[in-house]
Amino acid sequence: MALLSVEGLTTGYGEMEVLRDVSLQVEEGSIVSIIGPNGAGKSTAMKAAFGLLKPWNGSIRLGEREIGGLTADKIVRLGMCYVPQTDNVFPSLTVEENLEMGAFVLTGPLKERKERVYALFPRLAERRRQRAGKMSGGERQMVAMGRALMLDPKLLLLDEPSAGLAPLLVDMIFERILDINASGVSVLMVEQNARKSLELAHHAYVLVNGANRMDGKGSDLLADPEVGRLFLGG
């Protein structure tokens, strides 16, 4: 069953059209990746799905519910969380305070939720009293992902989770994405590291010039000569 279904999405910024008739689906329990060249509209598609951009045309459904045009705060309550590429932590707050901010819509105790995040990211448990702004890029990415997980989302949206990270941290972040998915959370990911992204993805979409170019199993696209030539360096 499709957890997220985007059909015929057209949108953009101001008068500038960025996406034209884009469609994609995220099945329950899956990892789905969006790849493509810079300026293809990958992050725009994700922002539209999360309510940060209004669709000009088309449909966005979470389960059976139409969410196109809903604001992000309403979409969060329906079980979708989003981790942007930049400005994704509160730098003046500690790790623990950042996690608590992720659960802003809840009123009950948060201890168990925080412990689940710390089990996934042990480094955060060690540094729970440290201000996020004093942490490395990889650590801040862990904080941002952990904060999104505080609401136990059905679907986690990740915009360029490995951007700017050292290779060792890139591998660690992708391992955590697999762990998150194994815990029952579906993942939609925009990622500059196309090869690694396709290795993880159950299904992937290629966007070019704001439109669907191709899609298929991640392993099939990884082996596709055209994808290799355009996005994988040969």
Q: Per-block average pLDDT, block size 10, for the chain (234 residues)?
A: 94 95 98 93 96 96 95 94 91 96 83 94 94 92 94 95 86 93 96 92 96 95 88 68
Please report, for residues 133, 136, 150, 170, 227, the alpha-carbon distance to residue 91 in angstroms, rounded to integers and kept in the order given.
Answer: 4, 11, 18, 21, 38
Look up residue 17 and give its amino acid.
E
Rounded to two decimals, what is the model's pTM? 0.93
What's the distance, CA 89 to chain centroid? 15
Is 209 in contact with 12 (CB distance < 8 Å)?
Answer: no
> What pLDDT score was predicted for residue 230?
79
Ordered structural domains, the chain, with CATH: 1-79+155-234 (3.40.50.300), 88-152 (no CATH)
> What pLDDT score was predicted for residue 226?
87
**14 Cβ contact list (under 8 Å, min separation 6):** none
Measure the CA–CA gap between 98 and 113, rounded to whole angstroms: 13
> What pLDDT score was predicted for residue 169?
85
